[in-house]
Amino acid sequence: MAKSLVLGNGTLTVGFDRFAQVKDCYFDYVGLENHMSEESVHRVGVWVDGSFSWFSDGTWQFEILYEDESMIGRTIARNNNLQLEIVITDCVYNEKPVFIRDFSITNKAENDREVRLFLNHEFRMYGVRKGDTVYYDPNNKAIVHYKGRRVAVISAMAADSTFSDYTVGLSTIEGREGTWKDAEDGHLSRNSIEHGTVDSTIGCKTSIPKGESATIVCWTVFSKDLEEALSLNEYVSRRSPGRLIETTRDFWNAWVNKIPYNFKDLPESIVSQFKKSLFILRIHVGENGEAVASVDADMLQWGRDTYTYVWPRDGAYLAMALDRANYSEVSRRFFDFCNEVISEDGFFYHKYRPDKSLGSSWHGWVGEGESIQLPIQEDETALVLISLWNHYEKTKDIEYIEKIYNSMIKKAGNFLLGFRDEKGLPFASYDLWEMKMGVHTFTVATVYEGLRSAERFADLLGKDYEAGAYRKAAEEVKLASEVLWKENLSIYGKSNGDSDQVAPRDNAADASSFYGVWKYKLCSEERVAIFYESMVSKLHCSEGAGGILRFEDDAYFRANPASVGNPWIITTAWQAQYLISKATDLSQLAEVKNILNWIQAKSLASGILPEQLDPVSAAPLSATPLAWSHAEFVVTVLDYLEKHSELTGESHLPEIEKAE
């Protein structure tokens, strides 16, 4: 199930379902410690004229968006039966772990009415059922949820007074559904403390004349310490939630507009999507340097795990997009993260938790025939070096490069140099898509460019011997890669197997193979052009949705076994990037604009992009949002603007940027 909206500030991240209810709540790492479990949700309910309705009961219509040019949520909820319209402003305060919800309720009836808003909270601290405590604090007029070093304090105001009703109790345990059921008669039982698997519900009431509006605002603060949480709660009350929303709105507006790009002939819908994508990339990067693949945890309901991990691959592409867009201060944190987690042997493991510990994995140490194998995707190690070189080109921070040269750059470069067979090809590892062991074209291309990046760093620092070794190895990889070209198929095969033939050969067309040989210049432009035509003919989705598949016969998330597979945002953006590179006049950019419009049209109303799409209906599938999808969209737009500038001589950058 896709997230309709996500908000965050690097320590607190909140995700919403399609009913504008909180479904994910991470603190204090991005993507780690979701303080809600699969079944929990923060319900919102309304009582008026003796009738009660939950947002999720099917009687409400929702329009869930971001405010223009700011990381503030704006939801319009309408209920014709109750004759109510509620505009919700959602905000994660940019400076502190504070989440604010402002409800502006409009009475559409022909008479004055009392409206009661009920807000339920089903926290499962650390994502673990049982062991939580919840209580009403009469001194601070707040509800407190806590377990160990995780504390959430909830308060609310309506017409200058705190919430008027409350109760706490057991939830989904011992036959109890939760305190939210207690709200359905318009009153709460005011139980003051409970422990175990618990929830809480508060009620706020306000009188609204016909045709007029009233505001109820609720906020939740998070801390690792009770006294600090109560102090932060008092801070919100003193500063006023409205003021915090206003300053957050101003901050994010300034952040996303810090480079006043000339967007040329791109329509406003693409410009808006570009800025939303920047926000979503920022949400996925934490203060600890974690750059997680997705903060959508709903996959846990249908599978074994989520995407809330740091894949060095995804992180590298996120960092490249942020650097391209002039947010190197954010991407720098990811490289600090990588510098700490790289293995002593110089490679990165499959994935990591946001706290820098090792993530879960399905990459085995033993392969076919009981052969011993390294359980990695070698492209991840190469991509970090490639991304870091892009970062240096943007920042020219040579002191930073020198600082991490021995601890990360040299380690990774030496690993790429040594992890090769006698022909010069990399040893077998898992492919970009994490499915097969082999010597994959994409991996070969990234290893080539990774070695070139290591060479550039060594040259930069005057390390001639190391630079020469990396240069020689890169040349050997490029020469050996010829074996991957399949003349009869006009493609580079997905995989060549390995020298021991433990990993089998795979001649399927794969979009990553094309992207790798083109992007990292593994072969001639003439051969790339031949490969492109063959790739598109084999991987274009012909079932209605459009877009480019990952590879032939891709079964991941394929609902219909007879389907060709699902188109991905990433692979379709790669197609656009290649077309931009080949354009020699503005007319040739028309197809690129069509692809950008196609991607934007496949986003949710809020601008959130999925990983992949149903090939017929184009409905979002798998993790939504996927940060990598947003990264490729950002890169594609910037590629477009640069090409447009090249063709017209009119820069897309302000004068200060051109001077630099």
Q: Which of 325, 349, 323, 353 lies closest to 335 in space, CA to CA?
A: 323
Could you give the C-alpha distances from 232 to 51, 56, 416, in angstroms and in order?
36, 31, 49
Q: How far is CA 234 from the centre of its chain?
A: 32
Give the model confidence (pLDDT) of 428-470 as tens digits: 999 999 999 999 999 999 999 999 999 999 999 999 999 999 9
* Strand, helix or coil for residue 479: helix
d(CA 238, CA 255): 26
d(CA 145, CA 194): 10
Residues 6+ apart with CB under 8 A from 396: none
Residue-by-residue DSSP string for 86-102? EEEEEEE-SSSSEEEEE
One-letter identity of residue 190? R
One-letter identity of residue 133? T
Contact by Cβ (8 Å): 176, 201: no
Walk me through the domains of the chain, giving residue ranges and CATH numbers: 5-255 (2.70.98.10), 259-287+540-660 (no CATH)
pLDDT of residue 659: 40
pLDDT of residue 633: 98
DSSP symbol at 489: T
Give, for 65, the enclosing helix (H) or strand (E). strand 61-66
Q: What is the 3-state secondary structure (H, E, C) of 141-188?
A: CEEEEEECCEEEEEEEEECCEECCEEEEEECCECCECCHHHHHHHCCC
Q: Which of 102, 117, 77, 94 lies closest to 11 in space, CA to CA?
A: 94
Could you give the C-alpha distances from 652 to 255, 439, 542, 585, 594, in angstroms and in order?
18, 40, 35, 17, 20
Q: Within the chain, which residues score under 70 in pLDDT?
A: 1, 299-304, 497-503, 655-660
Contact by Cβ (8 Å): 92, 98: yes
pLDDT of residue 161: 81
pTM over 0.85: yes
Contact by Cβ (8 Å): 198, 133: yes
pLDDT of residue 484: 93
The number of beta carbons lying within 10 Å of the beta carbon of residue 304 is 8
pLDDT of residue 192: 97
Contact by Cβ (8 Å): 182, 120: no
